[in-house]
Structure 1
Amino acid sequence: MSRPREFDVDRALQQSMEVFWERGFKSTSYEDLTRTTQVKKQSLYCVFKDKRELFLKALALYRKRSIAMLEEVASREASPLEKLEAICGSMLHQKDETLRRGCLMVNSALEFGEDDREVNREVNREVTLMSDQVKGILEKIIRDGQKQGFITARESSKELAVYLNNVLVGAKVMEKAGASREQIEAVLRTSFALIISENTR
């Protein structure tokens, strides 16, 4: 008979994600994880094998949660412009000026580089998957906005989705680097204004 789990796996994964997000993979110790999750090391790694596997699962959880949040915004009864504004706002986690975590995906891609090719490959896979999913959501909203005359049609919906996704990634890098919320919002406002149709202004 298998031994019953002694802890909530989903909760422990969520808590571990928060630790990795704040400290990064390399600076996170086993003690950080066990202290935060209140789960013994042996129990934690019976489920997740090692810190690397726990980190990669936490990264996947971050992507799924982020995409679910964007899909919820995209499904709202609102105009395409209102949806894009809501997405720009929801992508910024900097509600507290003292908490500058940036994006876990971007942070992880920058942290690993070529130091650990195996982990770097998995991180890049998650980053690419999230980027593709975000662009797909943005493209659909932009296409609807173009049909309704709210968003410029000078560029294709795909091109504008790539542009806006890059702006959002850049905003997260600014956040991690210590830019104020006002500075980040100014960049988002300018970028947003560039895709609005002349008839909407």
Structure 2
Amino acid sequence: MSRPRTFDEDTILDRAMLLFWRKGYEATAMSDLVEGLGLGRGSIYAAFGDKHRLFLRALTRYLDHQSRLLASALSDDGPALAQLRQVLEQLLQADESCSGAGCFSVNSMAELLPHDQEVAALARDSLQTAEDAFTRQLERAAGDGELSAAVSPRQGAMLLVTLVQGLQIVRKAQPDPAYAISCLDAAFALLDGTAAPAMAAR
């Protein structure tokens, strides 16, 4: 008969998430996990399987948190574009909380894709969830006359998803928050049509 667990699984997954987030998958050794989680190797294997299984559980937990943040932050109240802009800024700020490590999801994609198909599947699902949420918000913006007629809600959502993901990489070399804000300014000027005159003048 197996002994009951003496630890909280969610707490352990949060610790594992932070370890993988800060160091990356390959650089995180089992000895790091033993020390960081406060569990013996046998307990880790018994509860979560091997290192890769534990990593997938930690990444899934992170992505679920991001999806919940989107779901709770986007609503039908107030100007749609302003609300969406605020949410994107919050997402970027949230990923600054882990010692400047950036976005756990983007880091994982950069490190493990295209070879790790399980990570690829998780990433695709997460990106699609974000794109769908942004599309719904931009459909509301279009209905309220906020969205430029030159951009469809789906196109705008694809632009924003790609921008936010790309910014997580770029700001490792350009960490000044003003740079990310400037990129968001440019994207939303395209979405609301205020960038059109300046572009036409070139």
TM-score w.r.t. structure 2 length? 0.88
Q: Is the 8 A contact 2:147 2:191 kept in 1?
A: yes
Aligned alpha-carbon RMSD (Å): 1.8
Q: Secondary structure at the match of 1:131?
A: helix
Q: Is the 8 A contact 1:105 1:127 kept in 2?
A: yes
Q: Is the 8 A contact 2:80 2:137 kept in 1?
A: yes
Which residue of structure 2 aligns with residue 109 of structure 1? 109
Which residue of structure 2 aligns with residue 5 of structure 1? 5
Sequence identity of aligned pairs in percent?
A: 27
Deviations 1:18-38 (A, max 9, x none): 111111000011222222222
Q: Which runs of 5+ in 2 are unaligned?
A: 195-202
Amino acid of the residue matched to residue 51 of structure 1?
K
Partners of 2:96 and 2:56 lie apart in 1 by 26
Provide runs of 4+ in structure 1 moved above 4 Å: none
Partners of 2:118 and 2:148 lie apart in 1 by 36
Which residue of structure 2 aligns with residue 132 of structure 1? 128
Which residue of structure 1 aligns with residue 165 of structure 2? 169
TM-score w.r.t. structure 1 length? 0.88
Q: CA deviation at 1:153?
A: 2.4
Amino acid of the residue matched to residue 30 of structure 2?
Y
Which residue of structure 1 aligns with residue 56 of structure 2? 56
1:167–1:112 distance in 2 versus 1, CA, 3 Å: same
Deviations 1:104-150 (A, max 9, x none): 12211211245xx3xx1011111110110000000000000110011
After TM superposition, list the pairs within 5 Å mapping 1:177-192 onto structure 2.
177-192=173-188
Amino acid of the residue matched to residue 63 of structure 1?
L
Number of residue-to-residue matches in the alignment? 193
Partners of 1:54 and 1:2 lie apart in 2 by 20
Partners of 1:68 and 1:8 lie apart in 2 by 21
Q: CA deviation at 1:41?
A: 2.1
Which residue of structure 2 aligns with residue 122 of structure 1? 118
